[in-house]
Chains A and B, each alone.
Chain A
Amino acid sequence: MKQYNLVLSGLGGQGVMTVSQVFATAALRKNVQVKLFEGTGISQRGGSVLSFVRFGKSSSPKIPLGRGDAIISLEISEVASVIQYLKQQGQIWTSSGTIHGYYTKLSPELYPIQDDIKAMIRLKTTHLHMIPADRLAQEAGSAQAVNMVMLGAFSSSISFLNTDSLTWAIEEINKKFATANLNAFWKGYEFAKKERVAE
């Protein structure tokens, strides 16, 4: 298949790595060539996390700047961390959720305003999909599963991996929480599908 470069971002603990593992596992099952890069750091204790999932033939584990096809972000300010990897007019799927830390809890004005983030995004692309993943995850019965909601929402937009392979991968990776994760996945998928119809 033609190369497709996916960038994922979020904060430590949100499950960015799990999502990238799901993509990679599903791709493997479908014999789609895939390469995965997991960029951690001091992520466990509150820091940024990013990962690259490269479908199709590629050499470098990291995506060149300006060559990402899509960004999936689990936290809205974290889009800024990875937006330079996106090509002009690439796709951005982000949760509208915000996660505050020490500094922004004490001084909320330090956290960027959503409209400003949107304006920054517009410099790169008009294809912004904002998903109320926090609410959808709650509705699905699992507040932790923002990552699965975003995965479901994004999956409604691609054809090289179908929902069968992705849901199989979700279960493969964690049988214990499979039901909760799949609920969240479908919540995100249905929401995104409706949003498309509405456009």
Chain B
Amino acid sequence: MAVKDIGTHDLKKPLLFSGNQAMARGAIEAGVALVTGYPGTPSTYLIEALLKTSDLGFRVEWSINEKVAFEVGTGVSWAGLRSLVTMKMSGLNVASDAFLSVQYSGTNGGLVLYVADDPNTYYGMVEQDSRHYARLAAAPMMTPSSPQEALDYTRRAFDLSEQIGRPVMILITTALANTSESVTLGKIKSIKRKPSFEFNIARYAKAGPAACVQQHKDTLSALEQFGSLTDDLNPLTLTESRIGFITQGITWNYLQEAVHLNNLKPCTLKLGVANPLPKEKIKTLLSKIDTVVVLEELEPIVEETVLALRAEVDHPVKVIGKIHGPLSLTGDYNIDVVLSVLQEIYGDQVLRPEISDDLSRQVQAFKVKRLSTFCTGCPHRATFYALNQTIEKLGYKKKDVIITGDIGCTILGMNEPFQACWTEICMGSSISLAQGFKYAGIKNPVIATIGDGTFFHSGIPALLNASHSRTNVTIIILDNYWAAMTGMQPHVGTKPYSEDKRIIMIEEIVRAAGIENVRRVNPYQIKRMIPILMEAISSKEISVVISEAECTIQKERRRKTRVSLKVRPEKCAGLDVCEHSCMKVLGCPSIDRGEDGKAYIDPTTCTACGLCHHVCSYGAV
């Protein structure tokens, strides 16, 4: 399905939508005025889909970080119009301060907060269950189980938000973001509202204890109201069976297929709302069964409520979930997980596939170990190569110089062959962590590495903090102009980009922070790069090196002709002979092993960055 069809007015055309595309469509149909957020897989593609669609008639843009995105969305909502704010679960942590406060203040125009969790962390980071945020904020949260539901729930969420006067959260997971199915579209609403905002500090400020406690009370009422408006999203199906299943979000699909395969007809409670939980319905279910299985990924939130409500039912009910096993607190679910639970309950009549142990062992043996590394020609490869060389030249052993890493493509410096980044906490932490190591008394140089997008997102306060205290850390900002890891999104410093946007220059920010030792250098110029790094690292004062060159993938997209380097086999010592071979030292994906054991550069992918030429001591490139 072509992305440009997301905004179509042709409701008859059959279209395949992913979870994200469906939610983008839901926002369009709801007549939203703003969609903003910060890139973070698997949430990124919602805004990407909108950015690729023309003639939407409303603003779609990336914000500098999730907190700012949420606050900007709040401005639109408080002025009476509708906004959608998107982020991955890690981003919700960043936005949470604003989100909690706004949940308590309330909203005017519908404000929908989209969060994508990632059970099994297919995309790294903390395997957190963001349903806890709904509890923490007393916020309503919807959990669609399919792209169609994702579309319908999103569209409805704006109406619900306006009915209760509060933000509404929608939670999806990676599996739903990556699932596509045919969806039925709705008409696109055209909302024409004049913006307005009234003075009311009891509502819009946190003006003292009385007002704040009242806000809390009102938030709890709004939550209860949401519950009564969304009873239909939690269908309870009672059958003759004394066994019941409760699902949350996508686990419904796994249950459906598992019971269908085995011709079973248990009672089911399908939860499309994670907060508030429909306690009366849960009690009704418990009163009709002897065994209940709770199918929710990650935390036993529903399970704990079930255990509490079990006490109010007149007969004993067995609860199967995570607390006493067999289901796991970590990782994601799938149909095989559900089938194994079914087998425990219904016994051997349950169809399970035969997975031979012999085959499993062999499969493990055949898994080819693959390296996650920088793309061909990436400037970060040059920077980390130069950094490792510099540390060696300064007479330090690798293990004696701490290098902190940060989120994004730069963190690939942690892998072979560089193994340069030692840490990764959250956006912008590299600089502050480095400051902490110095405060602990580490005498050797401590180096922070951070990308440009990440620097703008959260690195600036840490930079100011370190500069203010004159902490002697070295900060390398790897500026490749784009938020690359998430798919090349622009940020406030991206150049070249849009003519109506002001480009913010990293060097000016660093100087404004009072740091005089700042150099900008092209990392491919290794001979210039190494002395500059040496100077920065040896300095007794805080120093910044801005290692600057555009992301190669972006650059190549604009290039008309292809240039590549070649290895002269007669000069190449051979990959098994050469101690510091280009391949071993750089790990560039375009360097292959030739038939003769010599290095061979793939001309279809090489971008002629020149690093291998620099590294080769035989002059073979």
Residues of A within 8 A of B (CB): 11, 21, 24-25, 28-29, 31, 33-42, 44-48, 58-62, 64-67, 77, 80-81, 83-84, 87-88, 100-106, 108, 110-112, 116-117, 120, 123-124, 143-144, 172-173
Contacts and interface: CB of A to CB of B under 8 A. Distances in A.
Contact of B359 (A111, A120, A172): A120
Contacts of B1: 21, 24-25, 28
B414 to A, nearest CB: 12
Most B-side CB within 10 Å, residue of A37, A59, A100, A101: A59
B363 A120 contact: yes
Nearest to B178: A38
B334 A62 contact: yes
Nearest 9 CB-CB pairings of A with B: A66-B353, A80-B366, A61-B179, A59-B256, A102-B371, A36-B180, A59-B257, A60-B257, A59-B253
Contacts of A62: 175, 334-335
A8 to B, nearest CB: 13
B75 interface: no
A48 B592 CA distance: 19
Given A59-B260, A105-B592, A123 B359 contact: yes
A123 B253 contact: no
Contacts of A111: 368
Contacts of A46: 370-373, 589
Contact of A123 (B250, B257, B356, B373): B356
Nearest to B177: A38
Given A46-B371, A64-B257, A64-B339, A106 B363 contact: no
Contact of A65 (B336, B368, B371): B336
Given A80-B363, A80-B367, A83-B359, A34 B336 contact: no
Interface of B: 1-2, 14-16, 18, 122-124, 175-176, 178-182, 250, 252-254, 256-258, 260-261, 334-336, 339, 353-356, 358-360, 362-363, 365-375, 412, 416-417, 575, 583-584, 587, 589, 591-593, 604
A117 B250 CA distance: 35
A58 B258 CA distance: 10
Contacts of A87: 353
| Interface of A, helix, strand, loop or mixed by DSSP | mixed
B253 A61 contact: yes
Contacts of B178: 37-40, 61
A120 B366 contact: yes
B593 A60 contact: no
Contacts of B2: 172-173
Contacts of A31: 14
Contact of A101 (B256, B370, B374): B370
Nearest to B261: A64
A33 B148 CA distance: 14
B175 A108 contact: no
B181 A35 contact: yes
A58 B15 contact: no
Contacts of A35: 179-181
Contact of A84 (B180, B254, B334, B355): B355
B44 to A, nearest CB: 11
Given A42-B124, A66-B354, A84-B359, 5 more contacts: A46-B589, A60-B258, A64-B353, A80-B366, A123-B359
Given A60-B253, A60-B334, A65-B355, A100 B592 contact: yes
Nearest to A44: B375
B367 A102 contact: no
A180 B100 CA distance: 53
A120 B356 CA distance: 11
14 contacts: A28-B14, A35-B179, A38-B18, A45-B372, A46-B372, A60-B334, A62-B334, A64-B257, A64-B335, A77-B368, A87-B353, A101-B370, A101-B589, A102-B371
B415 to A, nearest CB: 9
A61 B175 contact: yes
A31 B18 CA distance: 18
B417 A102 contact: yes
A36 B22 CA distance: 14
Contacts of A83: 359, 363
A32 to B, nearest CB: 10
A58 B181 CA distance: 11
A106 B584 contact: yes
A45 B589 CA distance: 9
Interface centre among B257, B584, B591 (most CB of A within 10 A): B257
B370 A25 contact: no
B363 A24 contact: no
Query: Among the interface residues B123, B355, B359, B374, which one has the most CB atoms of the partner chain A within 10 A?
Result: B359
B559 to A, nearest CB: 16
Contacts of B354: 66, 88
A35 B179 CA distance: 7
Contact of B181 (A36, A64, A77, A117): A36
A109 B592 CA distance: 15
Contacts of A66: 353-355
Contacts of B369: 101, 103-104, 110
A62 B120 CA distance: 15
A59 B161 CA distance: 30
A29 B339 CA distance: 33
B416 A101 contact: no
A41 B260 contact: no
B2 to A, nearest CB: 7
B122 A102 contact: no
Contacts of B604: 143-144
Nearest to A33: B182
A11 B123 CA distance: 16
A84 B363 contact: yes
Nearest to A37: B179
A33 B589 CA distance: 39
Contact of B122 (A24, A40, A117, A173): A40
B181 A101 contact: no
Nearest to A101: B370
A40 B372 CA distance: 13
A59 B184 CA distance: 17
Nearest to B255: A59
Nearest to B338: A60
A108 B593 contact: yes
A105 B591 contact: yes
A12 to B, nearest CB: 9
Contacts of A105: 575, 583, 591-593
Contacts of B15: 28
Contacts of A143: 604
Contacts of B335: 60, 62, 64
Contact of A42 (B181, B367, B372, B416): B372
Nearest to B587: A102
Contacts of A101: 368-371, 589
A60 B452 CA distance: 40
A125 B359 CA distance: 11
Contacts of B254: 59-60
A48 B575 contact: no
Contact of B365 (A61, A102, A108, A112): A112
A33 B182 CA distance: 8
B353 A65 contact: yes
Contact of A112 (B334, B366, B417): B366
A21 B591 CA distance: 31
